[in-house]
Amino acid sequence: MTDLTPNNTFLITGIIFITIAVIGQSKLGFIEINPGFFGRFLALVIGISSLLYATGLLNFSGETVDLLRTYLAGLIEQSINSINDLLQGS
pLDDT in tens, 32-83: 777 778 888 888 888 888 888 877 766 656 666 677 778 888 888 888 887 7
Q: Does residue 43 contact residue 20 with C-beta atoms inside 8 Å?
A: yes
Q: What angle do CA 77, 59, 2 make, to 5 degrees?
A: 170
Higher pLDDT, 63 or 12: 12
User: Which pLDDT band, with edges at 50, 70 and 90, does 4 fall under?
Assistant: low
Whole-prediction pTM = 0.52
